[in-house]
Amino acid sequence: MDTFERLLKVCDAVFEGQIDISVIKPETLLREDLSINSIGLLYMAMAVEEEFGIKFNNDDFIDIKTVADVIRIIEGKVS
């Protein structure tokens, strides 16, 4: 399973069916397209940290706008 597929699994678990993961693409905007608020991003970040065995820094969230941004950060920390 690649990073994108694992991230979709995390989103499905965190948002418990509130987000249709079948429409998520790398270019999908987290806030605008998926309506994820700050609290949702926090829960998602915690679940991503657990799934991938990484730790986010506060600065990581400055540039996160899309799913691809999340993948880029994950892959930068896993590598």
Residue-wise pLDDT for 18-69, tens only, equals 999 999 999 999 999 999 998 999 999 999 999 999 999 988 888 899 999 9
Is residue 79 pLDDT above 80, yes or no? no
Q: What is the pLDDT of residue 45?
A: 94
Classify residue 45 by burial, with Cβ atoms within 10 Å: 0-12, 13-18, 19+: buried
Query: Model's pTM, two decimal places?
Result: 0.90
| CATH code, domain carrying 28 | 1.10.1200.10
Residue 61: the pLDDT is 83
Scanning 1-79, the segments in alpha helix (DSSP H) are 3-15, 38-52, 67-78
Overall domain count for the chain: 1
Domain extent at residue 45: 3-78
